[in-house]
Amino acid sequence: MSVIRQSFAGLTQRRIGVGLVGINTREFFDLVVTGTTCSPLKPNSRPGQKFPSVSNLSSHAFNRQRRGVSTSTMRGTPVMLNVFDPWLPAPVSLSEKGRKALVQRAKRALTYAYSLYLLRKNSLSVKQFKTDAETLYITLNTAQAAYVPIFKSHKLKLINCLFSADKQLLERATSISYANILNASFKKLKRSDFIAAWSYSGPIIINVINLVAANVQSAKDKETVVIQITAKIVSNQSYAVYNAHTKKLAGGDPENFTPVVEYVVFERKLDDEDKSGWRIAGKIEPKNENTPP
């Protein structure tokens, strides 16, 4: 993430016009990387405060609409809804937090073992998953790039094309819900004044840190088992921002590769009828006080 944040360092005072709505460069960064410009709004936790129940939610929204108040309780679309267990292992130590982290790891060890059993029962392996995950990770980042990077004589050249993500690549690499989130963001970015270029160098290291299985009801009223794997992905990436009109570099460096660590969630349906394979279901942003080692 740091390489992308540095790319926007020189643009913090500029504004990007998106239709009739203006967004700043931090929101532009969030749209490109996470698929959302903001996080859910948290209600005030005042003692005795009451919130509408599900039964009277419609009447509550109607009354708010009559008063001219927005009926939405969320800003943006949180990606975390696609993730069964947004847990990342915290460092283990002798402190109270370290002991709690050890207990959490022990609890998830049983879930991990059972999910791994289901994985092997369906003739799947972690080794093959890592190979597929690397391909999906590259495909997702390539699909998000507005311009396609091509290396020739160690120089980055840009193919002149429209600023639009490759929708077919995006749908092949991500789950349906995550693809809808990204597509909604790209529709806003199409009218922006900046474009992005992404590439990587060297090996992509993938380590599995969490594995979860859940029963999911499909649209055909059929229950199926879905496996989700949280993987820590370490790679060297370059990220650059260009002016959409002049094609001049506005931020970042396409030839400066920086180490990047991301936590990506992959999912797969354990169904004989489903041939889609592994898909990216979302990303997890680690908390500052709970950053995995």
Residue 31: its pLDDT value, please? 38
DSSP string for residues in 172-189 = HHB-HHHHHHHHHHHHHH
**Cα–chain-centroid distance for residue 145?**
15
Alpha-carbon distance of 164 to 201, in angstroms, equals 24
Residue 134: its pLDDT value, please? 96
pLDDT at position 89 over 80: yes
pLDDT single digits (tens) 31-78:
334 443 333 333 333 444 333 333 333 333 334 334 444 433 333 444
pLDDT at position 222 over 90: no
DSSP SS3 for 136: helix
Band (223; pLDDT cuts 50, 70, 90) = confident
Residue 288: its pLDDT value, please? 60
pLDDT at position 204 over 90: yes
Residue 252: its pLDDT value, please? 87
CB atoms within 10 A of CB 225: 16
What is the CA angle 209-212-215, rounded to 5?
Answer: 170
Q: Give the number of domains in the chain.
A: 1
Residue 117: C-alpha distances to residues 126, 208, 250, 266 (Å): 11, 15, 49, 17
Q: What is the mean pLDDT of residues 121-129?
A: 93
54 part of a folded domain: no
Residue 95: its pLDDT value, please? 86
67 part of a folded domain: no
65 part of a folded domain: no
Residue 247: its pLDDT value, please? 82
Amino acid making up residue 96? E
Least confident of 92-106, 184-198, 237-251, 256-270: 184-198
Alpha-carbon distance of 70 to 158, in angstroms, equals 43
Using only C-alpha atoms, the chain has a radius of gyration, in whole angstroms, of 21
pLDDT at position 221 over 50: yes
DSSP SS3 for 231: strand
Least confident of 80-84, 187-191, 248-252, 256-260: 187-191
Alpha-carbon distance of 113 to 126, in angstroms, equals 12
Alpha-carbon distance of 223 to 220, in angstroms, equals 9
| CATH code for position 25 | 3.10.450.240
52 part of a folded domain: no
Question: Where is pLDDT greater, at 57 or 252?
Answer: 252
162 part of a folded domain: yes
Q: Which domain holds residue 23?
A: 2-39+72-290
Residue 166: its pLDDT value, please? 63
Question: Where is pLDDT greater, at 246 or 124?
Answer: 124
Question: Where is pLDDT greater, at 180 or 186?
Answer: 180
Average pLDDT, the chain: 69
Beta bridge partners of 174: 280
Question: Where is pLDDT greater, at 140 or 184?
Answer: 140
188: nearest Cα among 14, 19, 8 = 19
* Pair type for strands 249-252 and 223-243: antiparallel
61 part of a folded domain: no
Residue 136: its pLDDT value, please? 94
57 part of a folded domain: no
Alpha-carbon distance of 105 to 61, in angstroms, equals 42
56 part of a folded domain: no
Alpha-carbon distance of 116 to 57, in angstroms, equals 41
With a CB cutoff of 8 Å and minimum separation 6, the contacts of 209 are 88, 89, 230, 231, 232, 263, 292
* Dihedral angle computed from the Cα positions of residues 211, 172, 237 and 5, in that order, rounded to the nearest 10 degrees: -80
